Amino acid sequence: MSDDGRNGDVPVDGGATAPNPEFSWLKPHPVFVIILVGPEEEPFGVQLDFLCARSAYYRQFFFENQQDQSIERIVRIPDTMPEMFGYVQNYMFTGQVFPNLDHMPSYEVLIGVWKLGHNLVIEGLCDATLEAMAECRRITQRIPATPLLVQVWQDTPEGSSIRKLLLSWAAEYMRSSESRAEFARSLPQEVLSELVVAMSSLDSPPVVQVNHQQPPVVAAQPLPRAGNVHHIVPDDDDAEEGPASKKQRRQTDVLPRPSASAAVKTAISKKPGPRASLPNLKPQVRRRGGAAAGNPANHTTAQKLNFCNDLLTRMLSGPGFWTRLVGPFKEPVDPVQDGVPDYFDKVTKPMDLGTMKAKMDRGEYTDEDEFLKDMNQIFSNCYTYWSKKDPMWAACEKLQKSFEDKYSNMSRWITKMEGDEDL
């Protein structure tokens, strides 16, 4: 029995079922199938016997079309991205959806791979794809965006394994998010109805929680390029999430994030003009009442660095309103790719958030002052290169203001995480 209750031998038009012969690479397999994928018909070549051994759909298809005895057979999958079929091909030959973390696909691609596994009846592929999606979530600390959730409901069978998985994720998110009402409004009624049922069946605490635990860190794996991940992000800039929590934005606003280079290029309307005076770069720690008014001097360096690490993780990983702020500052500036050939003539100490996260993961910050020095270096570099009339200047001011606002909550965050905050 293969994935989602479909058996391995599936008649295409209700006719006789094709036999499932044993397959061995010790035998010759001279006949190939050329699979033309996507609207551009990118060709993939697969041995006919091998394809039929792995796909019950094609086994039945070629069983019913035996009159063509040519060396090559041609089939078309016009509505599939070649990237998606590439991962299907990788699974058929290796038993793994993606070869390593450097080639981890996006949720959009994985959903397409699952659909191919289901439609072509490739045994084990649907289950393997769900495992890959779980790995993607573990590493990125994100779940698919609302449009992808809706797409799954439109394109997959009721009760399918991928629906159940995404239902459970959405239910966990709904239990953890402070913006659950907005998230609910973004969902069609039929999806929301299933989600309510799924939430009522959750007995254990949600996986996506607001707590003091840091998200998993994969030291050797850089954060994925922003354009490769789909997000659920709040539309309200002030609706920033707490430590390790999840937020969302309205369905119509959810788009893949641009890459850092694209964000820089978008901001570049013309060559920078004369430099303006730099804003104040020292975060102003604001005093608040209650638990937030704790004295930072009473906290240990380790606690302060834990706060800095959590704040930096939220800035980079989201989902949250940070997504729209950090784009141009997330990765090192590439003078050629980003269209700023004289950047290093004016900026002598480059810094970016990704570099800071790598330093944090390696334990290179000995106290919060070193962390602040690098953060202020990012702001200073931007104000040094750009002038006030440039969009990048305004983007940096907004990021700096948001950072300083969140940084001012250090004492409150530490007190809450230590469990001493008054309720």
Supply the DSSP string of 163-210, one letter for each residue: HHHHHHHHHHHHHH-TTHHHHHHTS-HHHHHHHHHHHHT--SPPSS--
Lowest mean pLDDT among 92-106, 250-264, 293-307, 402-416: 250-264
Residues 127-134, mean pLDDT to the nearest whole number: 92
- Rounded distance between C-alpha atoms, residue 140 and residue 4, angstroms: 27
Q: What does the pLDDT read at residue 44?
A: 93
DSSP tag of 72: E
Residue 409 has pLDDT above 90, yes or no: no
Under the banding of pLDDT at 50, 70 and 90, the label for residue 173 is confident
Q: What does the pLDDT read at residue 389?
A: 87
Higher pLDDT, 273 or 110: 110
232-265 pLDDT, tens digit each: 333 344 444 444 443 333 332 233 333 433 433 4
Residue 109 has pLDDT above 50, yes or no: yes
CB atoms within 10 A of CB 104: 19
Lowest mean pLDDT among 61-75, 137-151, 280-294: 280-294
CA angle at 71 for the pair 69 and 72, rounded to the nearest 5°: 100
Residue 193 has pLDDT above 70, yes or no: yes
Residues 333-361, mean pLDDT to the nearest whole number: 91
E strand or H helix at 37, and its extent?
strand 32-37
